[in-house]
Structure 1
Amino acid sequence: MASQETISLVLRLAVSVAISYVTWRAIKEIIEPNRKEKQEAEKRSKQLLQRLGIKTTVKLSDHEMFVAQNLVEPDSVGVSWEDIGGLDDQIAELRRTVLMPLQKRPDIRVSSLVQPPKGVLLYGPPGCGKTMLAKAMAREADARFINLQLSTLTDKWYGESQKLAAAVFTLAEKIQPVIIFIDEIDAFLRVRDRGDHEVTAMMKAQFLSLWDGLISDSASRIVILGATNRPQDVDDAIRRRLPCSFRIGLPNPTQRLMILRKILAGEELSPDLELEIIAAQTDNYSGSDLQELCRKAAVRCYLRAVAQNDLQLLNSLNDVNVEETGADSRITMEDFQTALC
């Protein structure tokens, strides 16, 4: 009898534990509906860390693992210095002032003052190559690169945003040398005022406090790189922490010519196409504007080639009337002049 009672007690206890576990899992799913997404993010981060060659001995917290999904693989970046036209001076200065001190060679004895700036700001009109420069740095820096998204630092649970902000810096310390890139930094660290939400204000304060710790540590090789179209909207306290600034302005005619040559490299161009004239006619064009201009010219060239085979079908589908100009399928001066209109 005693043994039967013992078995019955054990069974009841096991059933009670099982029910409690299932109930706890169900409650956790209700309370934390994005738990699966976080687990998937952690799995992706682990795979990414392995591909980046970060040692498994580096122990990361849950918050650091969540931030780690913003790490960029250099091989996955399709932009290099050679792909950027018209910004040779800025590229050379970035290499001298940021990348070379960041990649300090151990075989050369240098002063302790030789260190990268703790903050770099790229500013200027939209479409002029700020993000492309950042991408090229991710590929060429020979350092870790964190493309920090604002959504990474926002969480619905009170106090989590501050923990995630702290995780950005603790992760960077563990995997340095590292560049932390914040695109549209004015949206995240804009001028503070009384209208700021409490959580946003606390997250900014946490970020600034940790940034100060980074600045005071002369041994750290961590650079925060920001990009913005509206530098006047960036908080003054942030500007002070970004001592190295580069203005990426609208290209001049010589720079526009270099950009056009970069964009059209590998394309079939007609002998009558004079890029110098196109560069002179595109005053106040940004790099992205020139990219769009080249796209329009290439589309017109394609439409002309289609028209040679089936002009009636082309007109019926697209309501476009293109004159037949022979079998030349190369991009011509006329294509660009039409695109400019």
Structure 2
Amino acid sequence: MVLKEIPADNITRPLGRNEVIGLLFRLTIFGAVTYFTIKWMVDAIDPTRKQKVEAQKQAEKLMKQIGVHNVKLSEYEMSIAAHLVDPLSMQITWSDIAGLDDVITELKDSVILPIQKRHLFERSKLLQPPKGVLLYGPPGCGKTLIAKATAKEAGFRFINLQPSTLTDKWYGESQKLAAAVFSLAIKLQPSIIFIDEIDSFLRNRSSSDHEATAMMKAQFMSLWDGLDTDYKCQVIIMGATNRPQDLDSAILRRMPTRFHINQPNIKQRESILRLILENENIGASVDLREIAKHTDGFSGSDLKEMCRDAALFCVRELVHAEESSEEDYIRPIQQTDLQKATEKMKKSKSAGAPSMLLDAALD
């Protein structure tokens, strides 16, 4: 076996310029291929990837609609921004809410006025708007309507936060999403973070809570406290619930302004009926006061559904009439229609009562 001697100058010879460029090029190609391969694998095993892409597109569209420009958002803030509601697109105003004049007046004075007339209250720490507002009471009595009307009338950016938005399968992602809620709200201020059924999200903490859930709640409350230290921050968290007793005591402390939205009394029910039927074709003999007397225990949504049933009676009569093909005319809603609809609603509510009592016993 003959060994070929390698010249000494070939061992110590440095790489030429072209060789260095070629080596760097190959390393760059290898790094890029590795990066995109790993990224593709991560995206492939992430079941929420499609939803995240759609959320980002929705967020960009909403940001343009509400007139927010030159605001850079992180990936997590984009996920939250997909739940923005443009105040101008909201159809709910104070005039669409009947029977809650006292609540509306107090909301205007304690929440909206300190922000709209900020220059009058900027020197006082006591007269700053509350950082937390709780609307509680039976279901169907207008809690969500009040929150939307508040955002509409005040011109606030409205973040409709759902608990599922902050849920992620990856460890630590929920805390980042919780932080993004507040950072986004601050960038878009004045803004309202609205949490419907807040008891399902921030209920009483216990040792049986999952670690990730406990950490997310702690992060949320810690960031919420941070709002209190900044008197220039125009972010309000509004929550609605029909089970205030299930809320964590620490959450109740952070929501000092509370409004009890109870079931409407007879006068309020009459006002609600008058508002619902305002633009409908009703007979001249309809006595809404009399209908209000027989709807004790009805919520606002119950009254709306009752009126809808009464209107459908008129439509059904037209459909089943023998001469409907000759004359298509829906007659006005009469007192008897409202009375029949009232009895139907009462039967429906009484049928649901046993299951409601069972749920209460289980609780």
The match for 2:306 is 293
Gapped regions of structure 2 (runs ≥ 5) = 1-15, 344-363
The match for 1:316 is none
Give the aligned residue type for 2:130. P
- Give TM-score, length-normalised by structure 1: 0.87
The 1-side partners of 2:284 and 2:181 are apart by 53
3-state SS of 1:44 partner? helix
The match for 2:346 is none
- The answer (yes or no) to whether the contact 2:315–2:330 under 8 Å persists in 1 is no
- The answer (yes or no) to whether the contact 2:122–2:128 under 8 Å persists in 1 is no
The 2-side partners of 1:120 and 1:96 are apart by 13
Gapped regions of structure 1 (runs ≥ 5) = 314-326
The match for 1:112 is 124
Structure 1 position 15, deviation (Å): 7.1
The 2-side partners of 1:8 and 1:204 are apart by 53
The match for 2:49 is 35
Stretch moving more, 155-164 or 67-76: 67-76
* 2:190 counterpart of 1:177: yes
- The answer (yes or no) to whether the contact 1:253–1:283 under 8 Å persists in 2 is yes
Relative to structure 1, is the Cα distance of residues 259 and 3 closer, same or farther in structure 2, using a 3 angstrom cutoff? Answer: same
The match for 2:66 is 52
Over 4 Å off, 4+ runs: 2-19
Structure 1 position 212, deviation (Å): 1.1
- The answer (yes or no) to whether the contact 2:141–2:300 under 8 Å persists in 1 is yes
The match for 1:220 is 233
The match for 1:83 is 96
The 2-side partners of 1:83 and 1:137 are apart by 12
Give the aligned residue type for 2:311. A
The 1-side partners of 2:259 and 2:212 are apart by 31
The 2-side partners of 1:281 and 1:331 are apart by 17
The match for 1:305 is 318
Deviations 1:231-277 (A, max 9, x none): 00011110011000000001011100000011111111112211110
3-state SS of 2:321 partner? helix
- The answer (yes or no) to whether the contact 1:72–1:138 under 8 Å persists in 2 is no
* 2:287 counterpart of 1:274: yes
The 2-side partners of 1:109 and 1:201 are apart by 37
Structure 1 position 11, deviation (Å): 9.2
3-state SS of 1:94 partner? helix
- The answer (yes or no) to whether the contact 2:132–2:238 under 8 Å persists in 1 is yes
- The answer (yes or no) to whether the contact 1:29–1:35 under 8 Å persists in 2 is yes
The match for 1:138 is 151
The 1-side partners of 2:264 and 2:95 are apart by 17
**Aligned 1:226-241 pairs, distance under 5 A:** 226-241=239-254
Structure 1 position 299, deviation (Å): 0.7
Stretch moving more, 218-227 or 243-252: 218-227
The 2-side partners of 1:291 and 1:183 are apart by 21
Structure 1 position 12, deviation (Å): 7.0
* 2:333 counterpart of 1:334: no
The match for 1:148 is 161
The match for 1:319 is none
3-state SS of 1:246 partner? strand
Relative to structure 1, is the Cα distance of residues 16 and 91 closer, same or farther in structure 2, using a 3 angstrom cutoff? Answer: same
Stretch moving more, 40-49 or 82-91: 40-49
The 2-side partners of 1:170 and 1:22 are apart by 30
3-state SS of 1:206 partner? helix
Stretch moving more, 165-174 or 300-309: 300-309
How many positions carry a matched residue from both structures? 324
RMSD of the alignment, in Å? 2.5
Give the aligned residue type for 1:184. E
- The answer (yes or no) to whether the contact 1:146–1:178 under 8 Å persists in 2 is yes
Structure 1 position 30, deviation (Å): 2.3
Give the aligned residue type for 1:42. Q
The match for 2:272 is 259
3-state SS of 2:332 partner? coil
Relative to structure 1, is the Cα distance of residues 96 and 5 closer, same or farther in structure 2, using a 3 angstrom cutoff? Answer: closer
Give the aligned residue type for 1:158. Y
Give the aligned residue type for 2:299. S
- The answer (yes or no) to whether the contact 1:119–1:242 under 8 Å persists in 2 is yes
Structure 1 position 171, deviation (Å): 1.4
